[in-house]
Structure 1
Amino acid sequence: MLLANLELAFRAGAVALLLVLAASLFSDFRNVLAARLGAAFALGSAAHAVSYSVGVTSLVPAWHAPLIALSTGNIVVFWLFTRALFDDDFRLRWWHGLVWGLVTAFSFAGCVWIAPGGHVRFSVTVVNLIVLGFIALAVGQTIASWPADLVERRRRARVFIVCAAALYGGLNALLQIAVAGSDVGDVANTINAGVLACVVAAIAYAMMRVDGADLFPANAGVTPAVILSHPTATDEAADQKLIDALMRLMADERVYRQENITIGVLAGRLKIPEYRLRRLINQRLGYRNFNVFLNNHRIEEAKAALADPAQAEVPVITIAMDAGFQSLGPFNRAFKAVTGVTPTEYRRLKVSAA
């Protein structure tokens, strides 16, 4: 009886925190894709907190099946959330919804048809392998995108959120595969509910320690027009020398054209630690993301080329590649985010004004 009450308290606490978190994200940042996906992930996690149990038998209560299916589909939402959290250019596509629907439908079929038909281990194993696959994608996305984030407190919070959720989800998936078809008892479920409540509380606390506008900026790709800190005269002089050297690398050597240029490589060229260059670009120049910093220089070069009558016949993709973009899609999106028009429209406007 004590274990059952303790487990219920842990589940109720986790659900309450997740619902508050979802409501807060949607209320304050409903126009930000990462926040909307974060709210959806919180709601899916609440479904997990209500329905999850360690060990799956062939018989699942009818009311559990939809919640279990939503809980499984939530791993796709988690993957999308990490993409939006670390990639300012990320946009939802129709096939993302299709993937979520397929994963959710397979989980539901496993609960009401595959497992009751005598294939419990097959159903549980496939579902949890899918979960592990999307966790791997999410972690890979985080590793690839994390270095470009220039706001130090936000970087730490984002990585903690992803790692905590991935670690909990990954260990649970492995545990489910190991004990599929077995009833492991109340102790394991109580421990799991307690761990989930602690993970949710830790994530909520980590998000509270970072200003919401930093974690989910309303205009992530827009560079602030003001300096973000107030250095001493000595620090300002030293930083200004570094900024001048950085701008020479941008203007004279056009290092932004280099393929796969990283902040570490740029710091090496300036002979300063990476953390100092990160802080310099963020606090002195006002950029939140290193890729946005590079893209703005690339776009300025592209704007000059598009406005040049001598290059009127040069294809847009050639101009984009010359400026350092790897493909046309990201160039078009970044260009429109900065100028408000597509590269082709920009060229036409400049020709008309000439």
Structure 2
Amino acid sequence: MLLTNLEFAFRAASVALLLVLAASLLHDFRNVLAARLGAAFVLGVVAHAVSYSLDVTSPVPLWHAPLIALSTGTIVVFWLFTRALFDDEFRLRWWHGLIWALVAAFSFAGCVWIAPSGHVRFSVTVVNLIVLGFIALAVGQMIASWPADLVERRRRVRVFIVCAIALYGGLNAVLQIAVAGHHVGAVAETINAGVLACTVAAIVYAMMRVDGAGLFQAAAEPAPPTIFSQPAADDSADQKLVDALMRLMADERIYRQENITIGVLATRLKLPEYRLRRLINQRLGYRNFNVFLNNHRIEEAKAALADPAQAEVPVITIAMDAGFQSLGPFNRAFKAVTGVTPTEYRRLKADPV
């Protein structure tokens, strides 16, 4: 009885914290995609906190199956949340919803059909392998995108959130595969509920320690008005570094280099990487290194598209000359900055009203 009450208390604490977090995200950042996905993920974890059990040995009640399906589908939302959190240009597509529906539907089928037909271990294993796969995708997104983030405190909190969720979810998936079809006992269930409560509390605490406006990209954050402008710098040493950085951009056009990273740029300037991050963020007003590079590339592309002498040069050639690796990202970045596509921009410059 004591263990049952303790497990219930842990689950109730997790649900309470999660509901407060979801309400806060929706109240303060309802227009920010990452925050909305974060709230959706949090509500899915509520379903997990209510329905999850390591002990899968018998058919679950029919009313329980939708909660388990929602809990399983939450791993897709976690992947999407991670993408939006680390990639400010990420947009939802219709097929994202289809993936979520397929994962949730398979989980539901496992509860009401596959497991009851005598294939408990198969159902549990497949579901948890899917979970591990999406956790791997989320961690991969974090690793690929994290270096471009220029806001130090936000970088640390984002990584902590993703790693904590991935570690808890990954361990639970592995454990459930290992014990599928066997009774694990009340002690294991209570420990699992306690670990979930501690994980949720740690994530909520971490998010409270950083300004939400810093954690989530503004819904329509304007780009700096001109990439070659130099803000007034009180510190002469920083101003010299700004001058050196802008020379690399304007004169050497280092942004054209393939796979240019902030580490390469820091090496060229003979600076520690953390100091260059701070310089670009605090002196030039950028929050993301890729946006910083792309604004330079887009300025070059705008000049080329407006040049009558290059009227016959294909748009993709101009994009790749400026440092973009393909046409799709160039078109999206160009339209985000100018409000029109490259082709429309060229036409407007050729036929001014």
When normalised by structure 1's length, the TM-score is 0.96
Q: What are the equivalent positions in structure 2 for 1:292-331 lying under 5 Å apart?
A: 292-331=291-330
- The corresponding residue for 1:277 is 276
- The corresponding residue for 2:174 is 174
The alpha carbon displacement at 1:187 in A equals: 0.9
- CA deviation string 1:233-288 (max 9, x = no partner): 4xx11011111111111111111111110000000000110001000000110100
SS of 1:63 mapped into structure 2: helix
- The corresponding residue for 1:76 is 76
- The corresponding residue for 2:203 is 203
Q: Quick one: distance in 1 between partners of 2:16 and 2:313?
A: 58
| Contact 1:48–1:67 (Cα < 8 Å) also in 2 | yes
- The corresponding residue for 1:155 is 155
Q: Quick one: distance in 2 between partners of 1:90 and 1:330?
A: 11
Give the residue type in structure 1 aligned to 2:329: P
Q: Quick one: distance in 2 between partners of 1:26 and 1:309?
A: 49
**Distance 1:24-1:247 versus aligned 2 partners, 3 A rule:** same
- The corresponding residue for 2:109 is 109
The alpha carbon displacement at 1:58 in A equals: 2.7
Q: Quick one: distance in 2 between partners of 1:267 and 1:237?
A: 19
The alpha carbon displacement at 1:182 in A equals: 1.2
Mark the runs of 5 or more structure 1 residues left unpaired by the alignment.
none
Q: Quick one: distance in 2 between partners of 1:259 and 1:349?
A: 30
SS of 2:62 mapped into structure 1: coil
- The corresponding residue for 1:50 is 50
The alpha carbon displacement at 1:55 in A equals: 2.3
Q: Quick one: distance in 1 between partners of 2:46 and 2:232?
A: 43
| Contact 2:44–2:70 (Cα < 8 Å) also in 1 | yes
Q: Quick one: distance in 2 between partners of 1:59 and 1:133?
A: 25
- The corresponding residue for 1:214 is 214
The alpha carbon displacement at 1:305 in A equals: 0.5
Q: Quick one: distance in 2 between partners of 1:322 and 1:95?
A: 33
**Distance 1:210-1:7 versus aligned 2 partners, 3 A rule:** same
- CA deviation string 1:193-249 (max 9, x = no partner): 11101101110111111111111122465335699x997x4xx11011111111111
- CA deviation string 1:66-99 (max 9, x = no partner): 0100111100000010000000111111111111
SS of 1:353 mapped into structure 2: coil
- CA deviation string 1:320-352 (max 9, x = no partner): 111111111111111111111111111111111
Q: Quick one: distance in 2 between partners of 1:298 and 1:262?
A: 14
Give the residue type in structure 1 aligned to 2:344: E
Task: Give identity over the alignment, percent.
Answer: 85
- The corresponding residue for 1:25 is 25
| Contact 2:305–2:342 (Cα < 8 Å) also in 1 | yes
The alpha carbon displacement at 1:153 in A equals: 0.4
- CA deviation string 1:133-166 (max 9, x = no partner): 1001100110110010000000000000000000
Matched, 1:6 2:6: yes
| Contact 2:300–2:322 (Cα < 8 Å) also in 1 | yes
- The corresponding residue for 2:164 is 164
Mark the runs of 5 or more structure 2 residues left unpaired by the alignment.
none
Large movers: runs of 4+ above 6 Å: none
Q: Which is worse superposed, 23-32 or 285-294?
A: 23-32
Matched, 1:144 2:144: yes
Q: Which is worse superposed, 325-334 or 169-178?
A: 325-334
- The corresponding residue for 1:124 is 124
The alpha carbon displacement at 1:8 in A equals: 0.7
| Contact 2:33–2:219 (Cα < 8 Å) also in 1 | no
RMSD: 1.6
The alpha carbon displacement at 1:20 in A equals: 1.2
Give the residue type in structure 2 aligned to 1:222: P
SS of 2:340 mapped into structure 1: coil
| Contact 1:149–1:288 (Cα < 8 Å) also in 2 | yes
| Contact 2:132–2:173 (Cα < 8 Å) also in 1 | yes
Q: Quick one: distance in 2 between partners of 1:168 and 1:224?
A: 39
- The corresponding residue for 2:66 is 66
| Contact 1:88–1:220 (Cα < 8 Å) also in 2 | no
| Contact 2:88–2:217 (Cα < 8 Å) also in 1 | no
Q: Which is worse superposed, 285-294 or 214-223?
A: 214-223
Q: Quick one: distance in 2 between partners of 1:224 and 1:7?
A: 51
| Contact 2:114–2:123 (Cα < 8 Å) also in 1 | yes
Q: Quick one: distance in 2 between partners of 1:230 and 1:119?
A: 68
SS of 2:351 mapped into structure 1: helix
Q: Quick one: distance in 2 between partners of 1:161 and 1:285?
A: 28
